[in-house]
Chains A and B, each alone.
Chain A
Amino acid sequence: MEDMLFYDRMQFAFTITFHYLFPQLTMGLSLLIVYFKGKFLYSKMEKYNDAAKFWMKIFALNFAMGVVTGIPMEFQFGTNWAKFSELTGGIIGQTLAMEGMFSFFLESSFLGLFLFGEKLLGHKLHFLTGFLVFLGSWASGYLIIATHSWMQYPVGYEILENGKFVLNNFGALFSNPWLLPSYLHNQAASLVTSSFVVAAIGAFYLLNNKHHEFGKLFVKTGVVFGLISSLLVAFPTGDLVAKNVVKHQPATFAAMEGIFETEDGGSEIVLIGQPNMLEKKLDNKIAVPNILSFLTYQEWDAQIKGLSEFDESVHPTNVPGLYYSYHIMVGLGTIFIGLMLLASVQLFRKKLYQTKWILWSLLFMLPFPYIANTTGWYTAELGRQPWLVYNLLRTADGASPTVSSGNTLFTLLGFIGLYLLLGLLFLMLAGKIINKGPQLNQH
């Protein structure tokens, strides 16, 4: 029974981690493509249209990867988490079905028009199809996070005698206080990924001395959007999400921050340190006194409960994993803001395109927003453990009762092999498109 649950969790974790590498770029990049196309309509400068066309090629490839790795996600609720689906399907099924009906149809119908319809539609309608694809992908994110928010902070339900969760207030799913901060935080983070990707490719062209005009355009666009989005990720959205966690999941908050014991006179903020689970303390800690209390409650001496105040049965199951995920996310987020601030200063001084070390940094920063997004989600998901529905349904009680570990490991290995292939193909083909670069005035 134990290893059954382990493989179910591994498979979901692996497939969702791999899947979400793609939608985070899809959502942000669709906005940037709409920006380029809109800028072209407004300025009539051909380079913006060429830029839009170039990113559409990456987008198409990325979108295809997102679609094919997304379908297994919806299936796995039923295949691997049958008990969870049976008990809560009447509620989370609503938002997931709405995602299919409202966003997937929108995205997929207009993606075909967007990718192949420029000649048929003319530029204005083409812009509109791009906008609708953007809308569809952001609606998809919204409905997924509505589902996620219900699992973190269940609302609008009652539990029947047979253990089934029944919806009794549809509106509550969308007025859930968990939803809006999480959604905005996530969308800003997806824009961070896309801005860094655009800036990195621009830096690649500038450092390579090719496609010079596009190199500058991409670096500039990436830096401006990158600065705005990395600031938004931290404040106000990240701050609001953290306040939800401290209010509704205090044990999770303590584990995230590495606070094992309640401290009188205010809690310190931990920058570095390794959770020592045997002695329930942090090893090699570097911390700044009282900052955490201030950030959380705007009072220097506010009390924050340590993990020891909560019963072991509600402790997050993987405290070190949760702690590292959160700290990697926050650390990277801080670095993103710093780099984008420096780049913006140089941009403002009109020296950015000559400042090689910033261009190199932008190029090498490319993978890190993906890591930050992934660890951000790990923070949310590991933070919810040991629950599927917070405080109400345990993860151990949600798995499929009849699917044995041998079968799950078989399919997990299959997914690992298949996704390795997909990942290699994606990198190879994206590399080919990037190396070829944008084409001038292609008609």
Chain B
Amino acid sequence: MELFWYIVLMTMLAVYVILDGYDFGAGIIHLFFAKKEKDKKAITNAIGPFWDANEVWLIASGGVLFFAFPTLYASSFSGFYLPLMMILWLLIFRAIGLELRGQIHNKMWETIWDKAFGISSLLLALFFGVALGNVVRGVNLGGVVDGVSTHEAHYFFLPLWNPTFSPQAEQLGILDWFTVLLGVVGVVALTIHGANWIIFKTNSDLNEKLKRVVFNLNFVLLALVVISLLVWHVIEPKPFHNFLDKPWLWIFPIITFIGLFGLFKVKSFQKHGKGFLFSSLFLAGGLASTVASIFPKVLPSTNSINPDLTLYNVAAHEYGLSVGVYWFAIAVVLVAIYMVIQYRVFKGKMDDVGYGEH
């Protein structure tokens, strides 16, 4: 049962990253590449009717985490207190940037909310990469100082950074050079992903330029992925041990690299959704490979005193997990129906949706 909910949760998070990921990416593109009003309109039209539903995947994942793995929810949400609060504020700014921009027709008003939307999208992409970095790096569970726990074994608290910015320090911070590296991977990958979505869903004049952007950024992404793999041993001495033990796990890195290499052909794609498909593969594969490398750990301990949090020692009780399967199965079918309806109504190019016009 724990394993079932773990897979459910990871799948939901992957869906979230793919869906809201294109919103973040579109925001970054909006910030750096959309100069003309027409281009900005095209971008917000392409995500306008979807972003809210996409964000629900985060809320729903949070809900499943809460009910299936309450100890992990409690430990990680209180331990990562400050960055989570900042993510909340950024989500608020991004949402009001999108929703309020069109309410008043004034150049200054529009500029303010354009920047709010773009900058918060950029920072969110960075923070989500950093968050993944923190999870795989692990935390000082129990707040061990000089060999003594200062909290219960499964609680911790991380400041935003420590003076050394090192992922190997005893007292860790949210931001260190390793987690920031993954943050940058997140920004580049989601920029590519967002560009692919815009190419897919609009006839914007930007599209040709965005294909070049995707092509060029893909080299950067490849370089960053290689660098990350080369330094991975800093946080995990045997980074590939899970993949050696369970060879079928190689499916995830393979998917990641299919996505990554597929994108080099972006300029020759005739069907516009193809680029989006490949960047989705990269994101889902990348997320799955990363969590697979620490499986069954869900939050490793960086000290030798308190044990890792694994999906087995943080789960809720058997009855609750079993009974949840019933309502969850019904809900998933409903959600699938909603998505089919939603994407069918807004199928094809969305330049004329008129999002944010009042």
List residues of A whose CB falls within 8 A of some B CB: 57, 60-61, 64, 67-69, 71-72, 74-75, 77-80, 82-83, 85-94, 96-102, 104-106, 108-113, 115-117, 120-121, 160, 164, 166-168, 170, 400-404, 407, 410-411, 414, 418, 422, 425, 429, 432-433
Contact = CB atoms under 8 A, between A and B. Distances in A.
A85 B92 contact: no
Contact of B316 (A89, A108, A113): A89
Contacts of A401: 78, 151-152, 155
Contacts of B66: 74, 77-78, 85, 89, 92-93, 96-97
A85 B73 contact: yes
B121 interface: no
B65 to A, nearest CB: 8
B151 A108 contact: no
B324 to A, nearest CB: 6
Contacts of B75: 82, 86
Secondary structure dominating the interface of B: helix
B91 A71 contact: yes
Contact of B74 (A83, A105, A113, A116): A83
A113 B342 contact: yes
Given A98-B327, A100-B64, 19 more contacts: A74-B62, A77-B73, A79-B77, A79-B81, A82-B75, A85-B77, A86-B75, A89-B71, A93-B63, A94-B320, A99-B63, A101-B60, A101-B331, A106-B334, A112-B53, A116-B48, A403-B78, A429-B103, A432-B104
A104 B56 contact: yes
Contacts of B100: 64, 425, 429
A152 to B, nearest CB: 20
A284 to B, nearest CB: 44
B17 interface: no
B32 to A, nearest CB: 24
A68 B99 CA distance: 11
- Classify the interface of chain A: helix, strand, loop or mixed: helix
Contacts of B316: 89-90, 93, 166-167
Contact of A422 (B62, B88, B92, B335): B92
A307 to B, nearest CB: 34
B197 to A, nearest CB: 16
Interface string B66-90: 1110110111111101101100110
B78 A112 contact: no
A110 B91 CA distance: 21
14 contacts: A64-B96, A67-B52, A78-B77, A86-B70, A89-B71, A90-B320, A93-B70, A98-B63, A98-B331, A101-B331, A105-B331, A105-B338, A115-B49, A402-B157
Interface residues of B, number: 67
A383 to B, nearest CB: 25
Contact of B78 (A61, A79, A110): A79
Interface stretch (B186-194, B199-207, B222-230, B350-358): B350-358
A112 B49 CA distance: 5
Interface string B159-178: 00000000000000000000
B169 to A, nearest CB: 18
Interface in B295-337: 316-317, 319-320, 323-324, 327-328, 331-332, 334-335
A65 B342 CA distance: 22
Contact of A120 (B53, B89, B320, B345): B345
B131 to A, nearest CB: 13
A411 B151 CA distance: 22
B62 A94 contact: no
